[in-house]
Amino acid sequence: MADERTHPEQVHPEQVHSERVHPEPVHPELIRDEDPWQSDGGRHGPAHVRVWRTWPDQVIVVLSGRGAEYYPERVLPLLRAEYPDDTVEFFLHRPTDWGTLGYYAELTPHADGTVSRTVIAGDILAARLGPALYETEDPDDESTGWGGA
């Protein structure tokens, strides 16, 4: 007899990820919120790392700040290695400043070491992570309105 929790017709769609059944989701919990630092010797502006636990075995990493969009191919493997037992998703938040419109993007690392960006609405990410996404945004974000870009 099949275990009721793993029978495909009885599993809630949000509990299925990577073709396996997860335990109940956890409320998105901000587990890491580093102070911004100057990336690349300060040439590119500040960078900021925040990490949320969204499932017992899954984390979402958000890199933000003007300096965060530089060298993701170096940074993502280092962050991935810090969570060896978890599925890790990466996102970028480039805040608005006086000269550039801000944006949110999903970052996808590839086997060849490159990283692609897919621009998304910030509210899509906020729906997954809760209010802490916007509450911990970068102090240099000059966008108007809730959540920046």
pLDDT tens column, 108-143:
999 999 999 999 999 999 999 998 888 888 766 655
Residue 28 is classified by DSSP as: P
Q: Helix, strand, or coil here: 101?
A: coil
Determine what percent of the chain is predicted with pLDDT higher than 70.
Answer: 72
